[in-house]
A and B are shown apart, each in its own frame.
Chain A
Amino acid sequence: AQSVTQLGSHVSVSEGALVLLRCNYSSSVPPYLFWYVQYPNQGLQLLLKYTTGATLVKGINGFEAEFKKSETSFHLTKPSAHMSDAAEYFCAVMGFGNEKLTFGTGTRLTIIP
């Protein structure tokens, strides 16, 4: 069984400040981990993913995430927030050989000018 916990349904940061969105997972098999973003009136878009190899993964728009197996975490960060980063972010896990994505409840990111 797999599950994802995203701490904080709403996060607000000032423009230019660090963005940190938290994600913890549980999985009985080595997981594939994902972050998706949904901008208003758009579909889910893949930000980045971890499958194997390097635990620090870089994605689009300056975002990155680090897979920490000992902490079962996959937190999403961006050094400097832009107004265009305002969106809802979803962490997801997929077990190897299992096609289904298990999502967290999402975090809505607001950027304060």
Chain B
Amino acid sequence: EAGVTQFPSHSVIEKGQTVTLRCDPISGHDNLYWYRRVMGKEIKFLLHFVKESKQDESGMPNNRFLAERTGGTYSTLKVQPAELEDSGVYFCASSQDYGSGEKLFFGSGTQLSVL
């Protein structure tokens, strides 16, 4: 069974450019989460999808970030325009069951560097 897949693994862009990160969850997982780790700090929750609906987007930093999950399958996270402070590792996770924690599967992350 394929795990959670994230593309690209690394992205280097200049300030002001646009970047789109993609996450393919495990097939059949209705719950999809985005987290972010800024260097040296904790991993922070960004948002939670249930199928194609945003269940909780309280962690999204500002309106430069747009997350979508059309059709309830893969998700994209677009940053437009990117700023220096957006640099970090963006993790995606998926689960079939709500709230259990133990059945949450993480991808290997996308390392975003904004220069």
Contact = CB atoms under 8 A, between A and B. Distances in A.
Contact of B45 (A46, A90, A102): A102
B111 to A, nearest CB: 10
B55 A104 contact: no
Interface residues of B, number: 27
B42 A104 contact: yes
Given A103-B43, A105-B40, A46 B48 contact: no
Nearest to A33: B101
A43 B31 CA distance: 17
Contacts, number: 62
Contacts of B35: 101, 103
A23 B99 CA distance: 21
B106 interface: yes
Interface residues of A, number: 27
6 contacts: A42-B108, A46-B104, A94-B99, A99-B48, A99-B99, A103-B35
A36 B101 CA distance: 11
Nearest to A94: B101
Contact of A43 (B99, B102, B106): B106
A82 B4 CA distance: 28
